[in-house]
Structure 1
């Protein structure tokens, strides 16, 4: 496996077998795409990937669209792709990609069409960009005579709109999530409840609708209302207000709650995607009162959330399709998806991906789900006698087969003529179709790494070519369509995994801004898609600083690798992240989160089946680790420990022991200090080390030599000694010398005694004599053992913290489900631990500060009243403002009650920084501030409790 710095051409894992130019077969050469001249109108890693694939296919006349907001990076350059595409005539600038309103979107579409015509481009590639699933955009491109490299507009309409997709799925026998998919139609009927009212409406609004439709007695009134609604959308007018839509949807949600009072309900815009335009309503059971009172309270926020959703997806203008779905939120759900490829005549699937590890609807870690890997896991579970695990794995294999069958059936029904993704939720042994994404997805390489497509000549099966890139498949399908024969799916690797490296803080909240000043090179087995950020200046070999402007999303890079099993793929990715250094100014990423999460699964069970609700409780558990660590004064602890060791020693020998303990202080405390500051790494380390210790009567007993534990800890933190490395990044040389002497001592002792288990070794050394050693030698060995172990008790603080917080209670059950302690699902604790992981800026008692950088909005939507004004009294939990970070709208609520004395921000869409004062306020109650002396006393008390557990 060869390393790659986002170089699609040099990595054999993703280097497609493109033989169209080199093979002598006339049939193979007939599928050349060299005559194409595409315009790339997406950004990020997919743009760079498309450029690389096009080049290898011989498609060299491509151009790119470059937004003014497009990741402004360093002083003399914009997007890093410009290092490769140096011809300015092929770089076309626009204000942004999609526009902020319906009118602006239309203008941008026409601008792109004009750019294509003026520069001779014949096709459009949108990747997984903003308009990849925009039916209006695709149709406009088609009408302009441009070849759209992706699903056609009919497929986008039938499969891409979430309400249409669900109806199609039902028609072809695909299971769907229970819910409401026609809220806008129901709203029309609430205002125009009979045939006469609909006819009058059509005349009044001059709607272009066939009178035969309204007069058709076989059609239901609902079907007629839907036809009227579609006619209004075509004309670009509204038949109802957003407030009216919200009330109707609320009534529908009330009816849903009567059937499922224990379930939450998900609201989502039909045009949403990538986590945008979705909100979740709490279950009635989480409220107090009678059944009907609980239902009313649970549904009360629907109108407000509908407005939020439509604002977020920018479908709040006149004539926009404002349909919002209400779906049952299956609480134990896993999010799985099937890769589908078709040419309009045939449809084939390429295995699945598990995307359950997500937060705020944003995927974090994506894992392949393949028949081959599941069969391997099943075989191992059988051999290990793990019957409950075996049953789950067999169910998963059956579900995968069902989902692939339904995906192909659905793709055929919508005439899929490119690459799309069939998304499902899995609940136990059941699964439900969610939606189809009519585009390539961010995680498409998870599939590429596991499967490839072999296209064979129908008249001569020895005459064939293989495609390993889904981008290449899209180009071939756009250029040659139904000429392409149905391919054969061939396996490549059994397992693959992708981590999304995002600009987020430790609580996974978006962190706009920040500058990457250093990024280590790729390691063996690493596939890094970073749009070229980590490439060095070709002339000076200097890393070029990169500014994470965050105008569009928080993604920095995609980190991928493969393995024969899921375990080996996770272990490889963990090693890749361990060796990665990423530093910069005001830089926050989720690199440490991924390191901890990967090792949590490695340490518990790699086949664990987390639900989409796993990450927040997991973060809460990690937050508790940090909170407990913050109570320990490590310097104070080591000082007391030092005193304990010295107390029984006579004065003549005390100076020697003082020297030993003082010399070991930095060796022992330094990695623990780092763990205390990096709770995600602590979580990962505890997970993979949980079998190296046990608790006995409240004390930690090490089953592994603490010296070996310490060596592994430095390695885990990527602080191994390397000659010439900066001292700040590794174990100090004198500490390494001491540690290596200890390692050599125990290696020799184990060989001499023939004892390799640490507990047995420790007991053996405690004996008065040993075979093969005279009294003087044995005394020296005992002294050396005592000296090397002296002070290592401080390492017990790490498992002590885990026990104190119940960290190991978050565990994997025998059937691969995950046991989540109920405390970790408490919303108040979750919120408090999020602040522990990412502390908000420290404010004075008379002001409210911005919790993050982004765009400040004082109101719900343009033209509406501001949330607060000077003199307003607000209660705890009231909305104060909205901040848009990485294209996600976050409503910020008051942490306490008070009165607004001064508003420090003017206008909508104003850029703010984290910690910036926004409001001067007078709180209803005075805040008590803990003194430094009280803090110290509290920490010393907690530290003393830890020391009391040491034997």
Structure 2
């Protein structure tokens, strides 16, 4: 029995195609299969409660329906549906039975006590409504061993890794110990800070005394060494809900370890990670010793290590694990700055364990993934063959290394999964540095990007007694349910290829600099196109009665993700090109709406234009953003109307008087045609980045200046297509080429197509040479003169298009490039922290403020201090220096520390209460700056822009 996923070739709304396809619906319901063995694996009798939100909740609802599981319920946070009237959970458009929707204040609680209360509330809801299973998806409590254990003890079937696996692999310290015991490569560092703190406080001989002092029962005789004794004692303290060591003790212990590590590797940065963290939360970077000034290495090490206690506290506070009785262990590891982030999909039922290929998640920022791409043996072998055929020796060598690393990671992933008795799906996360790889952690849950894997592989479950008797699962959510329902009965499946390559872009509510942008109303979202898979929480579902898109307010109560956009291809290049087309044709509009749609369009085209097999490290995105910011900064200096006016005047000054009227009219008519897309590029530098990348072969510079290798008229037509501004009857004029401009453009394209055929030329260089030469025998002189005149008329004014390659040259945009070995060359300037911060402000200018005030850079929740009980960063009368922290703003669960843009003194504070809601542009502080900021007048701005524009005109 084979199940084909028709969503790859069908336009649909938020996965509804599955539900409307009888063949798929019937085949998913194994109970209806003619084979008794296959029937025995049906899951229709399970009744799950979904306690997650976002795209995974909607996906689970769809898959459950496909499987014939029709009695599921969902948990609904009041933050999803009450606080923001237009943020009503879109899933309720599908699940209209109120008895299956269960409201809670939030999904997890803000403190340990609230979390415990929420767990008991979920259990009560399940018991009261006869749910017998729990689906937690990803996020919130999906990796909470205490929650899973509580569910198991209550007799509920947890659809995900069990509590044993959660404890063995979910906590970073235990996972690292297990990895070392099983021969899995791990990142060098320290994973036993709590034990070290305990030894420092009580001594190795004082552990029994500590146990007696706190009335803790510990069987020390069962422990083989002091480390096991310490772990047993700490575990007893967690169960008792008391602290035998504090965060300060752990910080002091790690400070000692940090001094040793910093002295051994003074040029290396180190990463601190709270053991319960994930998705970049609960992690901080400790700068290298040599990044500090000092007369000796010892002095530099002391300065660097002095930051450790505060960083430890930040990690714990961010995860809300700083309460009494919480496990406060924090790891410190060598931070490999050139690392690539790869992960292996692992599946097991507690008896068997297998892998399903990998995903490259290196394209990320602030530990948040942005673009994820499949990594499979089949795809790498195809890429190797393609590179060998093109004689790309260095690329072949790197791809072969990648294949070897993938095989090793898959082997270790299966070994580790078996060691922790994985009984669901999990992710074996690694960092890759050159030819080495290191295990980071195992995520004991389904990943946000799991679709990238399931689009490349499917699982075939066969009857051990009859191989012809089988069923196939293509959904990892379905596999989770099968394992949860049937456990050890489920035979180890065979991994089968499905699609050669896949890629996913995370569509987030962020601004041009990828900073979270809370709020905003989605008022229109174009329908998915053929080949697009759009996973959202149901936002793009239309009104079932009117088929009209329903407005949605991005409340920002949880995270910034709006949707996951996926597609597949016959190769990585094919999948990226298809994703580029999806992004090109996606339209999102609304009030105060900011997304990273343009960023993704630019980034995907950057890779298409440079080398799709490039191996970016996790530090690529910020330099890339900086390069885009430089394009924007340079573009801001150009006055397009002034430039076109000067080009127009030059034509009129140079032509004969009898021709002036004709040129004047032609140039005026073409102004909108030429300037509209250029103005768009000025306003959307991410789109400009992508266009420059995929068109770099169409122009070059020599001593005389710019040389076009493609007809500027054809390039102009390509620009309109690239910007999704093609002429479509009935489309709003604001979103496409104007009809009279399109008539002119089509006339010019038709002219050149006919002329090239008649002259027998295949390139723009050949065409120019032919037009500069003698009249061809096939034309009369009058015809030839008319052709030359028409060519001059069509080309007149296209010089303004040179602004695009000019901006690339002025900013050194093409210096950010891919090397032959697939590594990426990042110019040193793009790694400069001051330049990066400056270009972020160019991409998203801060709110306009007077010289004596500081305004909120974004909306969110305002925190004036590092943590409750600590002193605020600034008070009235405080003097601050440029770069000092002023406040923290929490936007979509991301805590962003805001630093002073200049030095000054605080005269007044308008928001002081922890957790106050602030809006972008709101006045926060009245200050007296150390230096008065001089603001340019409009006349000075105009003069500056014209000077830069004149420099461009001189380059023509």
Q: TM bucket by the smaller chain?
A: over 0.9
Tell me which residue corresponds to 2:90.
80
The answer to whether the Cα contact below 8 Å between 1:8 and 1:49 also exists between their aligned partners in 2 is no
- Cα offset for 1:293? 2.4
1:599 to 593, 605, 625: 605
CA shift in 2, pair 1:579/1:513, >3 Å: same
| Other-structure match for 1:709 | 715
CA distance in 2, matches of 1:840, 1:385: 49
Equivalent positions of 1:716-731 (< 5 A) are 716-731=722-737
**Superimposed CA distance per residue, residues 546-571 of structure 1 (whole angstroms, 9 cap, x where no aligned partner):** 00001110000000000010000000
Superposed CA deviations along residues 193-216 of structure 1, whole A, max 9, x for unmatched, are 231x32222111111212525xxx
Instruction: Note the C-alpha offset of 1:919.
Output: 1.0
Give the aligned partner of residue 933 of structure 1: 939
- CA-based RMSD of the aligned residues comes to 1.5
C-alpha distance in 1 between matches for 2:730 and 2:83: 31
2:23 is equivalent to residue 4 of structure 1: no
**Matching of residue 282 in structure 1 with residue 291 in structure 2:** no
CA contact (8 A) 1:456 1:462 kept: yes
Q: Which residue of 2 aligns with 1:24?
A: 34
Matched, 1:223 2:234: no
Which residue of the other structure, out of 549, 554, 557, is the alignment partner of 1:551?
557
- For 1:241 and 1:643, how far apart are their aligned partners in 2? 75
Query: Which among 122, 129, 145 is matched to residue 139 of structure 2?
Result: 129
| Aligned partner of residue 720 in structure 1, secondary structure | coil
User: Aligned with 1:423: secondary structure?
Assistant: strand
Q: Is the 8 A contact 2:80 2:87 kept in 1?
A: no
By how many angstroms is 1:3 displaced? 2.1
2:249 counterpart of 1:240: no
User: Shift in Å at residue 411 of structure 1?
Assistant: 0.4
Aligned-partner Cα distance in 1 for 2:451–2:220: 50
Matches within 5 A, 1:638-657: 638-657=644-663
Deviations 1:149-171 (A, max 9, x none): 00000100001100100100000
Contact 2:880 2:903 in 1 (8 A): yes
Shift of 1:299: 2.6
State the match for 1:61 in structure 2: 71
State the distance in 2 between where 1:304 and 1:842 align: 33
Q: Mean alpha-carbon deviation: is it higher for 714-723 or for 73-82?
A: 73-82
In structure 1, what is the Cα distance between the partners aligned to 2:356 and 2:777? 64
Maintained 8 Å contact 2:29/2:68: no
Distance 1:71 1:745, change over 3 A: farther
Between the aligned partners of 2:530 and 2:277, the Cα distance in structure 1 is: 38
Match of 2:6 in 1: none
Structure 2 residues without counterparts, runs of 5 or longer = 1-8
State the match for 2:679 in structure 1: 673
**Pairwise CA distance, 1:264:** 1.3
Alignment partner of 1:442: what SS? Answer: coil
1:481 aligned onto 2:501: no
| Residue 77 of structure 1, CA deviation | 6.8
1:310 Cα deviation from its structure 2 partner: 1.0
C-alpha contact 1:364 1:499 (8 A) present in aligned 2:
yes
Alignment of 1:484-495 (within 5 A): 484-495=490-501
How far apart are 1:298 and its partner, in Å?
2.6
How many Å separate the matches in 2 of 1:171 and 1:696?
Answer: 61
Q: Structure 1, residues 736-763: CA drift from partner, whole Å, max 9, x if none? A: 0000000000000000000111011011
Q: After TM superposition, give the deviation of residue 866 of structure 1 in Å.
A: 1.7
1:448-467 matches, cutoff 5 A: 448-467=454-473
Among 194, 200, 203, the residue aligned to 2:209: 200
1:160-171 correspondence runs (5 A): 160-171=170-181
Relative to 1, partners in 2 of residues 1:308 and 1:12: Cα closer, same or farther, differing over 3 Å? farther
The answer to whether the 8 Å contact 1:343/1:416 transfers is yes
1:441 aligns with 2:450: no
State the secondary structure of the residue aligned to 2:562. strand
Work out the CA distance in 2 between the residues paired with 1:622 and 1:16: 50
Structure 1 distance, partners of 2:252, 2:160, is 37
Q: Which runs of 5+ in 1 are unaligned?
A: none
For the 8 Å contact 1:2–1:12, the answer to whether it is kept is no
Q: Is the 8 A contact 2:556 2:892 kept in 1?
A: yes
Is 1:73–1:546's contact at 8 Å kept on the other side of the alignment?
A: no
CA distance in 1, matches of 2:22, 2:360: 24
Mean Cα deviation higher: 424-433 or 281-290: 281-290
Shift of 1:4: 2.5
| More deviation, 490-499/269-278 | 269-278
- Alignment partner of 1:775 out of 758, 762, 781: 781
Q: Is the 8 A contact 1:15 1:468 kept in 2?
A: no
Match of 2:342 among 336, 341, 357: 336
1:583-598 aligned at under 5 Å gives the runs 583-598=589-604
Q: Distance in 1 between matches of 2:488 and 2:228?
A: 34
Contact 2:501 2:572 in 1 (8 A): yes
CA offset digits 1:327-375 (Å, max 9, x no partner): 1111211100000000000001000000000000000000000111111
**SS of structure 2 residue aligned to 1:592:** helix
Distance 1:848 1:183 in 2: 40
- Following TM superposition, by how much is the alpha carbon of 1:71 offset from its aligned partner in structure 2, in angstroms? 6.2
In structure 1, C-alpha distance between the alignment counterparts of 2:410 and 2:736, rounded to whole Å: 48
SS in 1 for 2:32: coil
Give 2:278's match in structure 1, choosing from 242, 257, 273.
273
Scaled by the length of structure 1, the TM-score of the pair is 0.98
Question: What is the 5 A alignment of 1:219-368?
Answer: 219-289=224-294, 290-368=296-374
User: Is the partner of 1:280 in helix, strand or coil?
Assistant: strand
Hey, what does 2:5 align to over in structure 1? none
| Aligned partner (choices 783, 786, 796) of residue 790 of structure 1 | 796
Q: Distance in 2 between matches of 1:841 and 1:315?
A: 35
The verdict on how the C-alpha distance between 1:468 and 1:815 changes in structure 2, with shifts beyond 3 A counting, is: same
1:659 paired residue number: 665
1:531-583 C-alpha deviation (Å, 9 max, x unpaired) = 11111111122211000001110000000000010000000000011001000
Aligned to 1:569: 575
Q: Deviations over 1:100-145 (max 9, x none)?
A: 1111100000000000001100000000131000010000000111
The two structures have a TM-score, normalised by structure 2, of: 0.97
Q: Secondary structure at the match of 1:4?
A: coil
Partner in structure 2 of residue 560 of structure 1:
566
245-254 or 335-344, larger mean C-alpha shift: 245-254
Number of the residue aligned with 1:841: 847
Report Cα offsets for 1:81-118 as digits up to 9, x if no partner.
00111000100000000101111100000000000001
Task: Provide, for residues 22-76 of structure 1, a one-character-per-residue CA deviation record: whole Å limited to 9, x for no partner.
Answer: 3211110001111111000000000011011111111111000000112669857
Secondary structure class of the residue paired with 1:899: strand
Q: Do structure 1's residue 880 and structure 2's residue 886 form an aligned pair?
A: yes
Inter-CA distance 12–807: structure 2 relative to 1 (3 Å threshold): farther
2:863–2:912 Cα contact (<8 Å) kept: no
Partners of 1:342 and 1:419 within 8 A in 2:
yes
Cα offset for 1:700? 1.4
Kept after mapping to 2: 8 A contact 1:17/1:468: no
Distance 1:14 1:362 in 2: 34
Cα distance in 2 for partners of 1:152, 1:265 equals: 32
Any idea what SS the aligned residue of 1:610 has? Answer: coil
- Structure 1: distance between partners of 2:883 and 2:146: 40
1:650 Cα offset (Å):
2.5
Q: Which moved more, 1:853-862 or 1:486-495?
A: 853-862
User: 2: CA distance between counterparts of 1:693 and 1:168?
Assistant: 56
By how many angstroms is 1:219 displaced? 4.0
Aligned residue runs from structure 1 range 497-646, under 5 A: 497-646=503-652
Specify whether residues 497 and 586 from structure 1 end up closer, same or farther in structure 2 by C-alpha distance, changes over 3 A only: same
